[in-house]
Amino acid sequence: MKNQKKILVTGGAGFLGSHLCKLLVSEGHDVLCVDNFYTGNKKNLEELRDNPLFEIIRHDVTFPLYVEVDEIYNLACPASPVHYQHDPVQTTKTSVHGAINMLGLAKRLNAKILQASTSEIYGDPEVHPQTEDYRGRVNILGPRACYDEGKRCAETLFHDYHIQHNLRIKIMRIFNTYGPNMHPNDGRVVSNFIIQALNNEDISVFGKGDQTRSFCFVSDLIRGMTSLMNSEDQFIGPVNIGNPHEISIFELAETIIELTNSKSKIIHNPLPVDDPVRRCPDISLAQEKLNWTPKISLKEGLEITVSYFDNLLKKAANGAFN
């Protein structure tokens, strides 16, 4: 294939990584997926198992990796609070040591490398919507700091490698994303609400539920990710990728109850420490530089995601899913 690349995806068995691997293989690229399976799952990549363009190895990015590739997508890191707070030291090491190891690999190979950063670097923002030049408001000693500060440090490392070694880098700040292959027990709001609704359990909303989020469907997010990687080298980011449609958590719960015809009731629990009140991206830069904007509406995306979790629960009931 003309223009075929060898592409490394760290965290490739996770939610976002598995969708990225599938897209890259479908485009004819030779894809190496690296994952330590802390939150990733081989079942997410079942359809690629026998594809000659796809290879998967178990590896922790906090240790050096020696492979030959043209591009690197660095996605490795647990991304939901329930997982990244379980072992905060390891979370920070994954972001920082993982970035150092992947940047070192990219430098040796002269490979282009993309960092999957996060909207969490903005913390509980005072600026709304968030633009890329906003420096954030993060509690460096809070329960979310291992993830927030780890990702912030990774961005610094990427930028410094670019300045000091002329490395070709891309920095992408990912806002809330949802869709098939989300871990059913990762504690994220969309998966939580859908699982609770499908089981007709009470839906747990923190506080009054008036805090807002913006939710991007996974196919839109991955399209933004590859658009950034394939953009001109002079544009390194950081760039926000997310859906600017803002919705309150209470409205989200009501929408999911309606879509699932659930008998669930909404209950209110205390707000977690440092939970952001508002979170919404300004995507002007992505629109200008990448000609990117999300296409999937929240209702359409939720219908697809509800169907995925409904099938997952049925398989689990039959002992077919772990």
Provide the CATH number for the domain around residue 235: 3.40.50.720
**Angle (CA) 179 180 186, round 5°:** 80
What's the confidence (pLDDT) of residue 183? 85
What's the confidence (pLDDT) of residue 80? 62
C-alpha of 127 from chain center: 22
Tokens of 29: 């690229």
What's the confidence (pLDDT) of residue 237? 95
What's the confidence (pLDDT) of residue 276? 77
DSSP label of 245? -
In a domain, 127, yes or no: yes
CA dist list (Å): 238 to 190, 228, 300, 322:
26, 10, 29, 37
In a domain, 113, yes or no: yes
Per-residue pLDDT of 151-209, as tens digits, reads: 999 999 999 999 999 999 999 999 999 999 998 887 789 999 999 999 999 998 988 88
In a domain, 251, yes or no: no
Residue 21's identity, in one-letter code, is C
What's the confidence (pLDDT) of residue 320? 54
Q: Is the peptide bond before 129 cis (omega within 30 degrees of 0)?
A: yes
Active site residue 38: no
237 burial level (CB within 10 Å; 0-12, 13-18, 19+): buried
Active-site residue, selected from the candidate residues 122, 147, 161, 178: 147
What are the helix (H) ranges across the chain?
A: 15-26, 81-84, 88-109, 145-165, 189-198, 218-229, 249-260, 284-290, 298-317
What's the domain count of the chain? 1
What's the confidence (pLDDT) of residue 184? 82
In a domain, 104, yes or no: yes
C-beta separation of 157 from 99 below 8 A: yes
What's the confidence (pLDDT) of residue 1? 63
Question: In angstroms, rounded to a whole number, what is the distance separating the alpha carbons of residues 34 and 75?
Answer: 10
In a domain, 314, yes or no: no
In a domain, 138, yes or no: yes
In a domain, 147, yes or no: yes
What's the confidence (pLDDT) of residue 202? 93
DSSP label of 124? S
Tokens of 22: 């599938």
* Overall pTM > 0.75: yes
Which range marks the domain in which residue 287 is found?
Answer: 6-180+216-244+280-295
Q: Which residues does the chain have with pLDDT short of 50?
A: 322
In a domain, 11, yes or no: yes
C-alpha of 292 from chain center: 17
**Angle (CA) 263 218 115, round 5°:** 135
Q: Is 248 helix (H, G, I), strand (E, B) or coil?
A: strand
What's the confidence (pLDDT) of residue 223? 98
Phi-psi region for residue 11, left (φ > 0), alpha (ψ -120 to 50) or beta? left
Sign of the four-CA dihedral 91, 187, 119, 59: positive
